[in-house]
Structure 1
Amino acid sequence: MRVCLGAIVMLVTLIACSGGNQSKEGSPSPKATNAIAFPLFEGAAVLSARTWSTTVGARPGLADRSVFRQGAGTYVGHDVVAGTQAMMPALETWLGDLSANPPAGYSVAVRGNGIEAVRAHTRDLGIDFVPFESTEDAKRHGVVVMAVDPSTLAEKAGPMLGLVGKFKLMPATLRDPLDAQAKRQLGFSLSEAANPDTPIGAAVAALDQLRDFGGRGIVLIDAVKQ
């Protein structure tokens, strides 16, 4: 467990400091609105919205399969960051209610021990999530809904800040084993997590906004394969 948490803290810190520059395209919204047809937590204020396009490989990580479930190819999607003063227990209850009673047209996309193991690790860091899916214009539409506590995330990641620069400078021969270890233990690799066009990457990329906001965050990310 300690090794697992250390690995995920490293990947979260990596994204937070690097800003995740793997996105192929991305444009900030001039006026932040919820561009995803999925409800936010009641009273949450939209802080930012972004449209993106990315190409994924044949084997996306477990945490990414809800949005990239159709395998390799190009996906177009959005991410939305909203702030709320609600505490994490209330947000986790809200996620549980959504999971038990998804919005009309949606169903929970991924269930089972694998995704629950990933959630157990991310909850310890202050991130909880539920993946959903629907059909949009005859195409599969994946949505991940996340609750983020930036204070907990910063507290857990803080001790690892000094390792970020060293990790980024490592040759591929050293980075690859860390990627493989994270994927075995967590269901996603460091490289996958460093991409803001993925669920975990979108959540961590929102850290600065949420710290400035001074509360917790709701992060939505969706995708449709082209």
Structure 2
Amino acid sequence: MLQLNRCDNLVSLPSFIEKLPVLKYLKVNYCKGLLALPELPPSLEFLEAVGCESLETLSIGKESNFWYLNFANCFKLDQKLLLADTQLKIQSGKMKREVTIILPGSEIPGWFSDQSMGSSVAIKLPTNCHQHNGFAFGMVFVSPDPPTELQCNRIFICECHSRGENDEHHDVIFNLSTCAYELRSVESDQMLLLYNPCEFVKRECISEYSGKEILFEFYLDEPSGLQNRCKVKRCGVYLLDE
């Protein structure tokens, strides 16, 4: 692990960092002068760069193998390459593990075919959903204005329900959770992207609902005294087929 948190004079990382073959965890939180991240080693799995307010660019290697990226409050960051790389790896089936990405913004990528305002979205499953290869979930969350000091680690939960003829909730088919670390304050809308391959969401869980409508609900597991201090503003689902 390499921790360089709150190094205000850090403008860039040395290029040789790409040649550190066993580096798995990198934290550069609140490095306010950091402008760019070079190509990082393929061994890297976890990257936190929360509050790097000058960060503009990062290089994504073809062999990247991350499972957690947190760029919350990095408002100058050019997200296009990262989101395009993530879309390609998800849709091609190259992502084989759970992945969580956090970015500033109030929009979910357009390739999420099912989106809705609020904290829930309904989708109709295809008749062959037993062949699915996983789900991607997107959610935009927002905090009160002015920013509030929040618990450092935030737990996001996605709950999938079956639906009856009158739109009433039925059984919980499955639920998933992911933790966003180092979210002490949220200055404006942030977007969280979560991908779960079929190894985590078993095909058997939803195969009996083929051709039916199911409902996804998203919320934060708030600690006592902080309920409703942070809410999901928009959400979306993408089903990866074979």
Q: Which has the higher strand share?
A: 2
Q: Choose between structure 1 and 2 for higher RCO, CA contacts under 8 A separated by at least 6 residues.
A: 1
* TM bin (shorter chain): under 0.3
Q: TM-score, normalised by structure 2?
A: 0.26
The two structures have a TM-score, normalised by structure 1, of: 0.28
| Greater C-alpha Rg | 2
Q: Comparing both structures, which one devotes a greater share of its residues to helix?
A: 1
